[in-house]
Structure 1
Amino acid sequence: MALRTAGSVLVVFLWSVAVVQGQDGWSVTYTPQSICTLKGSTVELSCSYTYPRGYPSRYNVIKTFWFTKVYPVEGYVSLSDDPDYKGRVTYRSDKRNGHTLKITDLRESDSATYKFRLITDQTRGRYSGYPGVTLSVTDKPKNTSVSVSPSGEIVEGSSVTLTCSSDANPPVQSYTWYKKNGGGYPRMTGPHHVFNQIQSSDTGEYYCEAQNEMGKDRSTTINMDVKYGPKITSVSVSPSGEIVEGSSVTLTCSSDANPPVEKYTWYKKNGASLTGSEKTYNFTAISSEDSGEYYCEAENKYGRLNSSSVSVDVQYGPKNTSVSVSPSGEIVEGSSVTLTCSSDANPPVDKYTWYFQNKTFQNGFGQIYNISNFKSKDNGHYHCEAWNGRGSRNSTVLMITLPGKQTSVMTAAVGIIVVVLVLILCLSGFMWFRKKASKSTSDTRDTSENVQGDSSPVYDNISSMAMTPTATQTAATVDQDDVHYASVHFSRSKNQEVPLYSTVQLPQPQKQDEDVQYAAVKFNRPSAATP
């Protein structure tokens, strides 16, 4: 065996001598007997013939050629006349009866046994040299392809086998597997590449490379489309950043799934599912009641998966602002009173302003305002104003007053009674002294009265008294109507003592009594009184 290399072309000659002894002493010798070379290369086939004794006087060779085919009609066909070799073969001979066949641009179809034939001028002088030269045109692997098993959909977690096949002469010696655009490959394995539990990360395009001693060939790619249920499900909020009440907000559910997610379900944490099954959930004008945590569920034919929750924090200005007072019962003069301003706001209220009678308090800017010693001057209307970065809101007005004291009313009533009693005693004393002063003249008057009869009763009216108002008297007249105090009655008997009567009553129509005397005393209420 010998090797001959021309450039990158490898030609293998198997040296042996084939001698064919023809009739009448003709024979053909081939050197070498077999040749193995690559497709596309050039090869030369050589032979020589011998002739019998008496040649060339008795025999004349008129034609020589190489052939591979014998047709029933045409018979032996010279390679130079064969359409499959046209333009690719040439002959060369020498003086020692050596003949060479040169074939260029070898094809795998050129693999055959090539024989030399000579024709003489004798009727039966035609000879072919057997067995000829065996030419094997080999090539690197070709028609390399990849198949997948089982066929149909590939589901995550299942077992999958890739198979590489190739036409090669000599046979393929090694296989290398590649993942298109996949790091970590190639993998040197056999014609089969097995995924025991295929994963979604194995999705991609694969191809193989078959190699023998003549070269290598790469297959076309095959797509491995691994199906799986939703994974890595999440929710995003748009716009990002602060969410203001009344603005438009969109929630978007994202999930990695193959085939893509077919159905989305939206939930509010600690609440029922929301209306809608689309990838997005929209708030056209979001309100404070929409604050909370939201999540979605993604579903396809291979499974379903919930996302983690995302917080939606809706910001708004103060609302439902109100004022409360402590203690909540009756307020006692001099006690401590606490006012508290409450308001629903997000972010929380950062400033409070207090108002009394619609005027701003001095230093009244906290949530709590305390009045340590409540007095009547503190009676009035109170309200607060709550502020945050989104606006402000006033509370309703709260009226706070001290109630009237029961002890002061009772004191005024007792004072009035005392003044009335003092006045009655003074009146009684006055009338008693008057009686003494007029006793000396009473007999004369009685005699005259007995003569004249009882037709003319005497009235002595006292309309007013000159008094200097005192604090007690002034207190006795507070909130009282004008009152008449009456009367003193004297008996008409001459020898009897005149009894003294004193009564206090409201003004009433007077009846006509016989032989009585009246003394009426009237006191007017002062226009101003201090209790």
Structure 2
Amino acid sequence: MACPENMFFLIGLFISGVLACFGRRDLITTMPDRLDVLTGSCVQIPCSFDVPDQHKDKFKSTIPTFGVWIKKYPDVHQYPGNVIFHSNGKVNRYQGKITGNLSQKNCTTVFFNVTTSYSDIYYFRIDGQPYCATDPVKSVEIVVRDFPSSPIITVSGEVKEGTPVSLNCSAVAPCPEHPPELTWTLPTQFTTENQLQEKPDQTKSVLSTVTFTPSYLHHEKNITCTAVYPVGTSNKTAEHNMMLNVSFSPKDTLASISPADPVLVGSCVNLTCSSTANPPVTNFTWFKISGGKPTQVASGLSYTLNVTSGDGGLYYCEARNSHGCGKSNEVQLAIKGQEEVIGVAAGTLGAFLLISLISLFVWRRNSRLHDGLERTDSPQGQNSPVGTVCTNQATAGEEPEEPAEDQPEEIHYGDIDFSKLQTKETPAAAQDRVQGQESEYAEVNVTGRGAQEPPLNNLDGLYAQVNKRGGC
């Protein structure tokens, strides 16, 4: 059989419900349904009330009004021991105070030094007026905990690489006089803004907003919001961890080839593309560099081909998702036999260049050696007894000086009178004179470049012909 107290309570609730259905509530209160509180801390109960129209003339704002809090059962007459607080000071089982203005129908109340025994449901009543009433329908549940509940992290919008984003962390503040302090732990630099907010049910909470610019390196990294509640001389903490989900275009795109060594024509070669992206890559495309320009050759994560002689060269892949694309490194598909041809061609070209450089060096060296030589070239004169010879200014036994580069060449002429040379007439010369051979004279023209001096053994004949003409 049910206890009498429980029976009365159930009957009271039934009657209150019936009256409420017919609009017969004598007092209408507004309170939150539940409050989570820390042991040793305080709790603020947001509260307001109104008087039904049929009783408005009985409520006088000029008359002092008192507030009463009743635990568990609303019937104060049947359970007077359940009154835990009366603002007139007669009952103060719970240390507290009504901070609202009752004459303005504000019944907000604060209780201090909360213990676990405070966990229960509570009703509000007005007293001191010609009209006194309790709201038997609306109550508030107080839940006292030794540790605070975890804060809540929410994200405003998509967390996308390179785009600033804001994260919100909210923690309840059941004791607004000592609100929690919120701190963040993030894998990057950030800025924060904290503020005390009021919810629609008039309860308080602390909201912390952090703003940062995510990178793909932050994907799947943990972030933490920590709430620190001051309780007496110590602190109680609670935290919330969340993994970042950062959207980004393909990164670290890599192309590989197997086998990597040169292969024979007809062999099977597999090219594979890999990339990191969020959301995952939706399309892989393969390109071959031909004539210095990329040409699309295939699509897909892997590209397999039976090698022909024209397949050799450089390949790369592109990975793409909804946020962009990423290009891989270039890989070389080498075919056996082609590298030997390339090596021979490269060697031939190198040898040709080497020979060309040597030839150029020898030509320039010879040109420098001949820069110091000069030639004379005079027209042949008739009936002239004397030969004219162009010589260098250098004396016998001395090396001719090389003219400075880019200087105009100078040609020096000198006359040599061979008639003063005392030489004997040879029998051959006499015979030539008898036969009436025309006299000859020699002219030597030494130019500045590339000319050579006549051999000394030819000078004897030259002297003889000149002397024969001169009759010396």
Query: TM above 0.5, one fold?
Result: no
Does 1 or 2 have the higher relative contact order (CA < 8 Å, sep 6+)?
Answer: 2
Structure ranking higher in strand proportion: 1
Q: How does the TM-score come out when normalised to structure 2?
A: 0.39
Q: How does the TM-score come out when normalised to structure 1?
A: 0.35
Structure ranking higher in helix proportion: 2
